[in-house]
Each structure stands twice: as structure tokens, then as C-alpha cells.
Amino acid sequence: MSIELSNNVLESAKKILLKYPLCNHCLGRLFAKLGHGLGNDDRGYSLKLVLTMELHRIIRNNRDNYKDLLRKLAENGGEPLTKLYEHLYNETISSRECILCKNIISRKYFEELADKAIKAINEYNATSFLIGVSIDRELQLKEIEIASESGLEYSESIKNEIKREAGKIVRDKLGIEPDFNRPDIVVVFDLTGNYDVIVNPVLLLGRYWKTARNISHVVWITRGIRKYPYSIEEFFNEALKEVYDAERVVLHASGREDVDVRMLGTGRPMVLEIKNPRFRLVDYDLLNSLIVSNRVQGEIIGQASRKHIELLKTELSKKSKIYKALIYTSEPISEEKLLYLEEFFTNKVVRQLTPKRILYRKKERLRTRKVYQVKTRYIDQHLFEALIRSDGGLYIKELISGDDGRTTPSFTEILGVNTHCIELDVIGVEVPLLP
């Protein structure tokens, strides 16, 4: 025997409960966008309550014709439908387990998840958080199947409900709002309450200076043998890892200088990524006092974001830089020759094939960059100093030597004598990186 209810929501709830056993939360979630301010458990119970009342009105004087239908609804819906069935037919009946959550979801369940999240937040000294939920594909598909029968426009996912309800409890207990953009940690639960903690790194914006030579950017190992004794990244790792009780410190910079090149002047923009820190709030004055040595020095000026790292790797790495080079010539040169060199390399396009010295690790390709200005200082017939302002990414040593014609024009080509860079320093990086 079928019953057509006048209310569309009740009719949808009835049809769904005839087919699927659902707890209050999982039924209410199908109508989550209806009834402002209600919890899904309230929605689900209210639907079952009104459905019970409406069914009682319809079948109370004709109960024998509707026994099987009410039994099915009571088995799938639980209270108060079971109580109505027992009242009308004087038979005890048990409700079935919710097909979606297995009767796990409840206020107590949300409280338990929140307590686990709070434990993780405190363990990592986090000041912002986010709750995540991971459910298996089978459950996702079953949820979509059921929701499509009630009209997807009203429903929300089980993941959303768990994230929201547990997140609200954490918020109320700790007095901090969930951070949907960049939380310190994300606590990801599965449906059984097991969880993983994803700790977002601390990102520090700043600059570094390298005042000694033969220091690599990162640890350089070739064929299992360390090539250089020290690296810039190691310096920051040794200085800051313990302070943050972190896994390690990763250096992101706007380009990189060669191992034998110093980074002086304005310093090189960088972001330090503190991986898996257990402490997050460290005074900048303390940090800056720790990253000073006679070989490498850093300065932290604020918090960074992933956008800053992206800018370092793309936009800023291509901006102009200023270099100072000490240059030796194989034959005597005059100050007049140096003046001509300055004039020639004013806004001059330079084409470079990948330098021979790095062909073993980089593919052959043509690179085009611009030299904006060259200023020279005559020292003697075989020695001069040059300030070179050029695009980032220009190979300065090859600009000077010509690299056997692989870079053109070059100092060697224009001066008509073989030139060699003895020492090279970076002294300026255009467009400072700001918070």
C-alpha cells in the first residue's frame, strides 16, 4: 500500500527511508540547505518525527493495510517510527545500521574528533588549524547515489559535516577560527577517527649574503663524494632547525650564484622553508642573531607565502642584477679600450649557448639576455675591474671570456684579447622582495 504525502520534503524523506537505513545525521544531511540554524541531526530527527505524525494520522484507522510499509520505514529510520510501529502493532522492532556512517556520527563523535585535533594543535604549538576528512571511494559513491534521489541541491557531504562540526568545537574550546587559506596544521580524519597531521611549514621572507667563496647553494654531492665542504642551506639548517624543533630548513632563492662567487651588496632575496616545525612563533630579532657568521649571513624581515617562492623562481630570478668582476687580459690593454667596451655594452643583447663548463649537467640551448651597462676601472695593462648590470640568468664568466665563441658578443671579442674572470661578486639584485 502506498501513501502520497502532500509535503515534497516529507515525500522525499519517506521514499529514501523505504530504500535506505539512515541515522538522523545522514538523513538530515540530504536536506542540509533547508532550515537555517539547524544541525543535521535535528533535521533528520524532525523529518522522522513529522513523518511519524503524518503516517499516524493516515493509518490509525486502517492499520492492517499499512503494517509492512510502516515496518520498513521503522527498520530503516529508527525512532520515533519504531515506537509508532510498536504502539500500533504491539510488536518489538529493531532498527538497521545506517548504510552510510554505520551509526558512528553523533555529537559525542564530533567531540572525540575535536579533542584529538586539539591534542595535535597543542603538540605543534599551532595558532591556526583546519580539519580535513578522508573517506573511501565506495562511501562517496553511495552518498552521491542516495543524495541524487532527494535532489542534490539540498544536500551536503558527510565530509563537510564532520569538518564543520568538529571544527566548531575546536574553535570554541581554543578560541581560534579555522584557517581555510594557510593553517599551521591540518588534522585529517578518516571515518573511524584515525587521523594524520599535516604540518604546514613556516615560511620566512628575507635575504642572504655569502661573504666567502667555495660555498655551494645546497649540499653538492657527485658520485657519492661531497664536492664542497659547506653550503648556504646547511648554514640556515644548522642555525634554525633546533630553534623550531623542525625536520629541516630548505632555502629558496632568487637564482643562485656560482660556488666561487660571493653574494654581497644588497643580498639575494630568499624564503626559508621550515619543514615540520613543532614551534612556530620565534622572535625575528632572535632569528637574525642566529644567522650571522663570517661566511654566510641572513636577515629575516617577515612571513612569506607560497606566492613569494613562486615569484623567486620566476619573476625575480629574471630581474636585473649587478656584478663586480676582476678581469685578467692575456695581452696589454689601454684605458681607451675599456671606454670603448663600456660604450659597446650599453643595452646590448647577448646570445649564449649553454656554457661548456656545465654541459655535463644541462642541455644545450640558446639563451638571450641583455647587458644594460658596463663600468670599468683600469688597474694595470693586464688587469681591470668591471661593474656589469644585466638581466638575471646571464652567464657573466662567459660574457667575459666568450667561451670559445659560444657567447657573443663578449669582452674577449670586443677587446680583441683573451679575457678571463679571476673573481666575481654579485652586489645587487633588482626589485627587492617585499612582504
Q: Tens digit of pLDDT for each residue in 136-193? A: 999 999 999 998 877 767 889 999 999 999 999 999 999 998 999 889 999 999 999 9
Q: Is residue 2 part of a domain?
A: no
Q: Which of 398, 407, 265 is nearest to 323 (CA)?
A: 265
Question: What pLDDT does 152 receive?
Answer: 67
Q: Which of 426, 416, 418 is nearest to 396 (CA)?
A: 426
Same-domain status, 424 and 325: yes
Same-domain status, 297 and 358: no
Instruction: Identify the helix (H) or strand (E) that includes residue 423.
Output: strand 419-429
Q: Are 309 and 399 spatial neighbours (Cβ–Cβ below 8 Å)?
A: no
- Between CA 33 and CA 25 the distance in angstroms is 13
- Between CA 22 and CA 72 the distance in angstroms is 12
Give the β-pairing of 366-380 and 296-303.
Answer: unpaired
| HSE-CB of 432 using CA atoms within 13 angstroms | 10
Q: What are the grid coordinates assigned to 245, written together? A: 624543533
Q: Is residue 404 part of a domain?
A: yes
Q: Which of 266, 289, 317 is the last residue of a domain?
A: 317
What residue ranges in 229-261 does DSSP mark as E strands?
Answer: 248-253
Same-domain status, 348 and 388: yes
Q: What does 339-364 look like in DSSP terms, one character per residue? A: HHHHHHTSSEEEEEEPPGGGTTTS--
Q: What are the grid coordinates assigned to 184, written together? A: 599551521
Same-domain status, 327 and 374: yes
- Between CA 391 and CA 372 the distance in angstroms is 8
- Between CA 15 and CA 73 the distance in angstroms is 9
- Between CA 30 and CA 15 the distance in angstroms is 13
Q: Is residue 210 part of a domain?
A: yes
Give the β-pairing of 129-133 and 185-189.
Answer: parallel
Q: Is residue 122 part of a domain?
A: yes
Same-domain status, 221 and 303: yes
417, with CB counted inside 10 A (0-12, 13-18, 19+), is middle
Q: Is residue 185 part of a domain?
A: yes
Instruction: Identify the helix (H) or strand (E) that includes residue 27.
Output: helix 24-28
Same-domain status, 330 and 417: yes
Residues of the chain with pLDDT under 50: 432-435
| HSE-CB of 424 using CA atoms within 13 angstroms | 19
- Between CA 236 and CA 202 the distance in angstroms is 14
Q: Which of 108, 38, 105, 41 is nearest to 79 (CA)?
A: 41
- Between CA 396 and CA 352 the distance in angstroms is 10
Residue 416 DSSP label: T
Instruction: Return the bridge partners of 368, or none.
Output: 351
Q: Which of 89, 116, 143 is the last residue of a domain?
A: 89
Interior angle at CA 187, CA 182 and CA 188, nearest 5: 110
CATH number, domain of 276, equals: 3.30.70.2510
- Between CA 396 and CA 393 the distance in angstroms is 9
Q: Are 191 and 202 spatial neighbours (Cβ–Cβ below 8 Å)?
A: no
Q: Which of 38, 63, 89 is the last residue of a domain?
A: 89
Q: How far is CA 87 from the centre of its chain?
A: 57
Instruction: Return the bridge partners of 302, or none.
Output: 205
Cβ neighbors of 339 (< 8 A, separation 6 or more) are 376
Same-domain status, 251 and 270: yes
Same-domain status, 148 and 231: no
Containing structural domain, residue 126: 107-198
CATH number, domain of 173, equals: 3.30.2130.30
Residue 216 DSSP label: B
Question: What pLDDT does 415 receive?
Answer: 97
Q: Is residue 368 part of a domain?
A: yes
Instruction: Give the active site residues.
Output: 258
Domains held by the chain: number? 4
The values of phi and psi at residue 221, to 5°, are -120, 125
Question: What pLDDT does 435 receive?
Answer: 45
> Which contacts qualify for 230-236: CB closer than 8 Å, 24 or more apart?
230/295, 232/208, 232/296, 235/291, 235/293, 235/295, 235/296, 235/298, 236/208, 236/272, 236/291, 236/296, 236/298
Same-domain status, 308 and 214: yes
Instruction: Identify the helix (H) or strand (E) that includes residue 427.
Output: strand 419-429
Same-domain status, 227 and 272: yes
Same-domain status, 265 and 372: no
